[in-house]
Amino acid sequence: MDMDRLLTDRARAINGSGIRAVFARRASMRDPIDLSIGQPNFPVPAAIKRAAIDAIEHDRNGYSVTDGVPELRARITPWLRADVGWDVAGPLGMLVNNGTSAAIALAFLALVGPGDEAIIPDPYFVMYPHMATVCGGRAVACDTYPDFRLTAERVEPLITPRTKLILLNSPSNPGGVVANERECRDLLDLCRRRNLVLLSDEIYDLFTYPESRTARRADGSDCCPSPARMPGAEECVLLVRGFGKTYGVTGWRLGFCAGPRALIEQMTKLQQYLYVCAPTPLQLGAAAAFDVDVGPQVREYQRLRDRVVAHLSEITEVTTPGGAFYAFPRVPSRLGITATQLMERCAERELLIVPGKAFSSRDTHFRLSYATRPETLDRGLAVLTDVLRA
């Protein structure tokens, strides 16, 4: 069969994820020190597991309505009110998704058409540029090196009449960078002025360390800044949040988004045909997540973050992550190698890291995840020290 004639340019234009390539290397290792994985290492809180098991046992295994089971929506709605001050009624809508990825994919499908442009940060989370390609559009990368901050000043010159959206990811993957209040406000003002959607991917919102929790929720608790909390946000912010990273249920494929009703309605229609609904019993499990405090996990990751920064800043440049559970250090230039070559050298010593090329047009940095046991992190840091000092 001449499959070549049948396959689309769209499918061919997309490379496999660089993270998956590291995964593949793992298969041939005996006792890998895995600092490549982008998911929490703690066990899923018992109440969440119990709620999903109960749902299965009580025969809640069928389809749900497209926008999410009422029990979960009834928890998200007051949470959004308390957190960002949004009432998801009237001009604002909300949709439960099959992971944060689905919310992002649906937003691109609803907004980006052939020839349209989406401005994304570089470095970026792996799916962002490909979503624009899938839609027949183009991702315009905003170079945020060396501090990885997406600012209105850096973004504005990239806007053209074809621009549809600006993507902000805070706390970010791979840098762990948290946008400050001014950066959020300036990006929001820019989007309002230029009639653009500000897609705010906040999948790591609860994993923010104290010095970056400079904003306040309506209930007075501290949190990371979000453009959604600012005046005028309802007009143009699409807020995307997830359950997978926060509660260790990445395999459940659950997230939600909220924003202008006109946009959410189009995304809901697309979801009907692409995903139908998020898994019903797992949505019911996620409803129990709103009673879980992840504070102890955040404090543990803060200790590990401090360990990584203290260790690596003696050897190379590393921006202190304000959130998430990744660091994105630079490959010291005196080594004269790319991050992919560094990854190979580390893999020979059974250490897995992800080269910057997976997240960027550059291959000068590497991502390590410290969402692991302290002993594993220490073994990994020891190998890295050897390789970086070689």
Query: From the CB of 95, what's the least distance to ligand PLP, in Å?
Result: 14
Closer to ligand PLP at the Cβ: 86 or 125?
125
CA distance 205 to 323: 8
Tokens of 346: 């580390």
Nearer to ligand PLP by Cβ, of 100 and 387: the residue is: 100
Q: Which stretch binds ligand PLP (CB under 6 A): 93-101, 218-226, 272-280, 337-345?
A: 93-101
Measure the CA–CA gap between 354 and 199, rounded to whole angstroms: 25
Neighbours of 93 (CB within 10 A): 19
Task: Restricting to residues 299-358, name those near ligand PLP by CB under 6 A.
Answer: none
Considering the complex, state which of residue 250 and residue 271 has its C-beta at the smaller distance from ligand PLP.
250
Q: 152 pairs with which residues across the strands?
A: none
Selected binder of ligand PLP within 36, 66, 101, 360 (CB under 6 A): 101
* Smallest separation (angstroms) from ligand PLP to the CB of 169: 5
Is 168 or 387 the residue whose CB approaches ligand PLP more closely? Answer: 168
Residue whose CB is nearest to ligand PLP in the complex, by number = 99
Nearest by Cα to 283 from 82, 94, 51: 51
CA 65 to chain centre: 26
Instruction: Rounding to the nearest 10 degrees, give the CA dihedral for residues 196, 158, 326, 134.
Output: 70
Which residue of 36, 66, 170, 173 would you call a contact of ligand PLP, by CB under 6 A?
173
38 binds ligand PLP, rule: CB under 6 A: yes
Closest CB 11 distance from ligand PLP, rounded Å: 20
- Between CA 221 and CA 214 the distance in angstroms is 10
Biggest CA pair distance of the chain: 63
Q: Quick check: bond before 329 cis, omega within 30?
A: no
Q: Which stretch binds ligand PLP (CB under 6 A): 54-62, 96-104, 140-148, 372-380?
A: 96-104
Structural tokens at position 314: 């003696």
Q: How far is the CB of 171 from ligand PLP (least distance, A)?
A: 8
By beta-carbon proximity to ligand PLP, the closer residue of 255 and 259 is: 255
Scan residues 113-132 and list those touching ligand PLP (CB under 6 A). 125
Among 66, 169, 280, 364, binds ligand PLP (CB under 6 A): 169
Closest to ligand PLP by CB, 169 vs 208, is 169
| Nearest residue to 60 (alpha-carbon basis) of 237, 286, 215 | 286
Instruction: Provide the minimum distance between the beta carbon of 283 and ligand PLP in the complex, in angstroms, as a whole number.
Output: 14
**If you write DSSP's letter for every residue of 315-331 in order, what string do you get?**
TS--PPP-BTTEE-PBP
Q: How many residues bind ligand PLP (CB under 6 A)?
A: 13
Taking the C-alpha atoms of residue 100 and residue 199, their distance in angstroms, rounded to an integer, is 12
| Start-end of H helices in 85-173 | 99-111, 127-134, 152-155
Measured in whole angstroms, the distance separating CA 102 from the mean position of its chain's CA atoms is 12
* Distance in Å, CB of 311 to ligand PLP, minimum: 23
What 3-state DSSP class applies to 232?
coil
Nearer of residues 18 and 255 to ligand PLP, judged by Cβ: 255
Length of the chain: 390
Closer Cβ to ligand PLP, 84 or 324, answer by number: 324
Task: Give the residues across from 215 on adjacent strands.
Answer: 223
Residue span binding ligand PLP (CB under 6 A) among the ranges 47-55, 99-107, 213-221, 312-320: 99-107
Closest to ligand PLP by CB, 244 or 248: 244
Strand order through the sheet with 326-327: 326-327, 366-369, 354-355
Contact set for ligand PLP, span 197-256 (CB under 6 A): 201, 203, 242, 244, 250, 255
In the complex with ligand PLP, which residue's Cβ is closer, 183 or 201?
A: 201
- Contact positions toward ligand PLP, by CB under 6 A? 38, 99-101, 125, 169, 173, 201, 203, 242, 244, 250, 255
